[in-house]
Every structure is written in C-alpha cells, then in structure tokens.
C-alpha cells in the first residue's frame, strides 16, 4: 500500500474521467463525499433548467408541443435517456413521481394477492419509506402488517442471499428489495434473486436508489418485473427531482393500479374519454401532469452519464472506494473503526461504511474540517467518493483529516448526537 500523497496525485493523473469534475459546481474548500444523499449541481443541469424555463417564457401553453424539448414527451424522453443505466429498453423506463409514490404505484399494480399467495417479502434493513409504503398497501388490501415478511440480517449490516431465497415461501405474492443497502452499501444479487423468485411464481421488484448512476444493471436480461429509483443521489438531478420507474415489457398493456390521465396512450389522451386507454409502455404508470421544472435538471445530468458511460463510472468508483478502504486500514487501525461495507468488488456499492461508537461527533468534526460525510444512526459514517467529481487526492486528504481528528480527539468538542437531518 502506497500511502504517499504523490501516489494519489498519480492516480488522478491516470483517471480518464478527470475532466468531468469541471462540469460540476464543487462547494468552496469542501471535500464533498455525500453524493449518495444529494449529488452536486452540474453546469449542464443548470442549463437544462434554464432551457425549460425559457420555453415557458417563449412558448407559454405551446411549450407542450414546441421548442427543443416538448414537455408532453419529456418524461418518456428522459426515461429513454436512462435506459442504459439500468439495462432496459427505452420504452421500459419513464421519469415520473417520487421514489415512494412510484413504489405505491408499482405495488398497487403488481401486488395481486390470490389464494394462498397473499404476503409481501421485504427485508429488515431497507429504507423506512419503502417499509411504510408496503405496510400501507397491505392495509389498503385489507391485510394486517403480519403479511409483511422482513428477512433478517445476521450481522445487522448485510443480507444473505440464501436467507432471502429461503423466505420465498409459497404464501409470498410479491418481493420488494433494495439493489444496494443504504447503510452498508451491500449489492444484492439481483440476478439470482429474480431467477429464484420467478421459479416460485413470485413477482419481484427492486429499489435502485443507491445503485442508479453508481453501478451497471441488467434489469431486462435478468427479467426483473419492476424497479424504481430517485434521481437526486448519484444521478445529480437536484433536490426533490422527479424519480423514475422501470416496468418489464412483458407487463405492457396492463392497467396501472393507480390510474390518471397521464397513464394514457399519448395519441388518445386528449380524446378526453372516461375509459382509459393505457399507454403500451412504462408511461402507463404515470398519473398526472409531469413536474417539469423538477425533471429539467435530468436532461443535462443524464447527458453527462451518457458521455461518461456507466461502465467507466463503476470502474473508477471501485478504485476510489478501494483506495479509501486501504488508506483507512493503513492509517487508522487502532482508532476503533470497523469497515462495515462488503469489501469485495462484486458486493460493494458506491460508498464506504464505517462504524465507530463516536460516529455522530466524528461526522461533526469532519464537517468542521471541510469534509462532508453523512451519519447514519446509531454509529455509521458513510463516505461516498463519487466517480464524476471526486478525486483520489480528496480521498487521501480525507483520511489525513480523519486521522488528525482521532489523534487529537477533536471530536470531543461535539455532542455525540445526530442533528434533525442526518
Ligand atoms: C433515498 C431513498 C428513498 C427516498 O424516497 P423519496 O420518495 O425520494 O423521498 C427511498 N428508498 C431508498 C432505499 C432510498 O435510498
């Protein structure tokens, strides 16, 4: 392990994605390692927002059909721009709703309890919003929450593929799991899980919030039934940007569980009939008028991903997280940290997850020293060096700062308590 700063500089020099950093607004004097919570603004995204505002200024109502990006087709267009990121065909993806409302839509569409098959299978480590949504969908169908099975974790951080498969009993109708766990960054084996679910006649969908824009996916090839994700984390779509969903084309032509006029076939929509003719693609899972101003940044940011290519993004991301883990092991052993993310490339997502009993105040000390991590209760520090805008030198610098904080016990100046937002 070479721990010299010059080696970090050498790695930056070799980086074939290095020019992308200039596309972004990097906050002054800051090492931003929180792109897995809220990605940074790019100049491209800023321009695409301006362009949509200008079409409103210039065309008013005619912006729906005129201008460089007619609004009526924007959700589908952004979906097709995203399809390579998930390994899907262009018509299988649409940009719409929010992560959680998309989950509601997809469960309302794909959860059809019948006979013995009435349960939903999830896990105990997923993001709370997903679990709340699943429980409320069960209630709407007249079941109590004992119908939600949550696969247990052995170590509190990761899930075992075999335990998930063992939980696919014959009373399960639907499975919803994350692609990458939000705390530990573990990648689940979506291919195997989909294969095993289908062998048992179970529909399966994935929440890609922590994998989209960070790792490649092959949803169509794996035969995944549906997926959904937010666009404001690794994809840099901006705070509250519109989310996305994927529906495998074998399900095209069905009515969505939650219908609205934007579920319509686009040619029929303005016939204003009271019988819905659903779109014959993922667009059928839209509900109402798209949130154009919050979709607009995606035009610019997805273009950047098309230029960089998800394969190169993933390769650099693995190098960054590997370098970070090696430096932590070399410089910070004996200071009470545990690297709690999976270490091998196949199971490691886009961030490093450290556990430490003083995690909350170590995060505060890092922020004071210009490094932005995020804290996850009760004892987790997530560090996400992002391929498009972070550097190997920043990784080196971060470990150096963290070491000073530990050696000088600078975290003692802070309370070991999380803020309202953490
Ligand atoms: C970020 C995230 C969400 C957020 O849901 P919103 O509806 O966008 O607020 C949901 N699920 C997971 C797994 C997430 O990581």
Average pLDDT over residues 407-422: 89
Residue 42 CB burial class (10 angstroms; 0-12, 13-18, ≥19): buried
* Pairwise CA distance, residues 332 & 329, whole Å: 6
* pLDDT tens per residue across span 313-333: 999 999 999 999 999 999 999
pLDDT digits (tens, 9 = 90+) for 89-147: 999 999 999 999 999 999 999 999 999 999 999 999 999 999 999 999 999 999 999 99
Ligand 1, atom 8, lies closest to the CA of 99
pLDDT tens-digit map of 164-193: 999 999 999 999 999 999 999 999 999 999
- The per-residue pLDDT for 1 is 87
Q: By the 8 A CB rule, do 1 and 17 touch?
A: no
Residues 202 and 168: beta-carbon distance below 8 Å: yes
What own/partner pairs with CB < 8 Å and gap ≥ 24 does 150-157 have? 150/122, 150/123, 150/124, 151/121, 151/122, 151/123, 151/124, 152/124, 153/123, 153/124, 153/125, 157/125, 157/181, 157/183, 157/184, 157/186, 157/340, 157/341, 157/353
The pair of three-digit structure tokens given for residue 281, joined into one six-digit string: 């693609």
Please provide the CATH number assigned to the domain covering 47-307. Answer: 3.40.640.10
pLDDT tops 80 at residue 422: no
Count of CB atoms situated within 10 Å of the CB of 332: 18
Confidence tier at 6 by pLDDT (50, 70, 90): very high
Which amino acid residue places its CA nearest to atom 13 of ligand 1? 127
- Identify which of 184, 207, 209, 351 to mutate to test ligand 1's pocket (most ligand atoms within 8 A of the CB): 209
Distance (Å, whole) CA 23 – CA 20: 5
Give alpha helix (H) positions in 280-391: 292-308, 310-331, 359-368
SS3 325: helix
Name the residue with the closest Cα to ligand 1, atom 2.
209
- Mean pLDDT for 150-169 is 98
Domain ranges of the chain: 5-32+309-413, 47-307
Question: 3-state DSSP call for residue 11?
Answer: helix
Choosing from 96, 102, 126, 129 the residue with most ligand 1 atoms within 8 A of its CB, the one to mutate for a pocket test is 129
Provide the whole-model pTM: 0.97
**CA 25 distance to own-chain centroid:** 21
Helix axes 392-407, 5-14, angle to 10 degrees: 150
Question: pLDDT-derived band of residue 419, with 50, 70 and 90 as boundaries?
Answer: confident
User: Which residues touch 335 (CB under 8 Å, ≥6 apart)?
Assistant: 356, 403, 406
In the reported structure, the alpha carbon of residue 228 is separated from the centroid of ligand 1 by a whole-number distance in angstroms of: 10
Residue positions forming the annotated binding site for pyridoxal 5'-phosphate = 99-100, 127-130, 207, 210, 232, 261, 289
How many Å apart are CA 80 and CA 289, to the nearest integer? 19
Q: Which atom of ligand 1 is nearest to the CA of 130?
A: 11
Tokens 């090696």 map to which residue?
A: 326
Q: Which residue's alpha carbon is at the smallest distance from atom 5 of ligand 1?
A: 99
Class for domain 5-32+309-413, per CATH? alpha beta
Given pLDDT bands bounded at 50, 70 and 90, which one contains residue 420? confident
Query: What pLDDT is recorded for position 43?
Result: 98
Whether residue 211 is predicted with pLDDT greater than 80 in this model: the reply is yes
No. of H helices and E strands in the chain? 12, 13
Ligand 1 first shell, C-beta below 6 A: 98-100, 127, 129-130, 178, 182, 207, 209-210, 230, 243
Q: Whose CA is nearest to atom 6 of ligand 1?
A: 99
Span 285-293, average pLDDT: 98
Q: Which atom of ligand 1 is nearest to the CA of 103?
A: 7
pLDDT above 90 coverage of the chain, percent: 98
């Amino acid at each position: 392990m070479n721990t010299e700063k010059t080696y970090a500089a050498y790695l930056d020099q070799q980086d074939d994605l290095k020019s992308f950093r200039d596309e972004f607004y990097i906050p002054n004097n800051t090492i931003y390692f929180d792109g897995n919570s809220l990605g940074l603004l790019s100049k491209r995204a800023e321009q695409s927002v301006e362009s949509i505002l200008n079409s409103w200024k210039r065309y008013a109502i005619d912006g729906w059909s005129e201008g460089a990006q007619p609004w009526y087709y924007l959700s589908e267009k952004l979906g097709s721009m995203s399809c390579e990121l998930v390994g899907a065909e262009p018509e299988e993806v649409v940009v719409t709703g929010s992560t959680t409302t998309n989950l509601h839509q997809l469960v309302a569409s794909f959860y059809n309890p019948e006979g013995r098959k009435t349960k939903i299978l999830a896990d105990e480590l997923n993001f709370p919003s997903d679990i709340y949504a699943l429980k409320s969908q069960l209630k709407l169908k007249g079941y109590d929450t004992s119908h939600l099975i949550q696969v247990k974790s052995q170590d509190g951080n990761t899930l075992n593929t075999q335990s998930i498969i063992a939980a696919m009993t014959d009373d399960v109708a639907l499975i919803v799991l994350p692609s990458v766990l939000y705390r530990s960054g573990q990648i689940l084996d979506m291919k195997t899980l989909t294969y095993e679910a289908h062998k048992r006649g179970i529909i399966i969908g994935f929440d890609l919030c922590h994998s989209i824009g960070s790792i490649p996916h092959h949803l169509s090839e794996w035969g995944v039934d549906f997926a959904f994700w937010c666009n404001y984390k690794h994809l840099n779509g901006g705070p509250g940007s519109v989310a996305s969903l994927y529906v495998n084309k074998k399900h095209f032509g069905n009515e969505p569980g939650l219908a609205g006029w934007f579920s319509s076939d686009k040619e029929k929509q303005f016939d204003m009939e009271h019988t819905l003719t659903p779109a014959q693609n993922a667009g059928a899972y839209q509900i109402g008028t798209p949130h154009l101003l919050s979709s607009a940044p995606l035009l610019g940011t997805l273009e950047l991903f098309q230029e960089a290519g998800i394969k190169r993004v993933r390769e650099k991301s693995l190098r960054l997280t590997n370098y970070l883990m090696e430096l932590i092991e070399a410089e910070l052993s004996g200071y009470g940290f545990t690297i709690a993310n999976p270490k091998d490339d196949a199971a490691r997502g886009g961030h490093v997850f450290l556990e430490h009993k003083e995690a909350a105040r170590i995060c505060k000390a890092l922020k004071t020293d210009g490094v932005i991590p995020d804290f996850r209760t009760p004892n987790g520090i997530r560090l996400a060096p992002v391929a498009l805008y972070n550097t190997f030198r920043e990784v080196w610098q971060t470990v150096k700062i963290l070491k000073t904080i530990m050696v000088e016990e600078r975290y003692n100046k802070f309370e070991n308590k999380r803020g309202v937002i953490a």
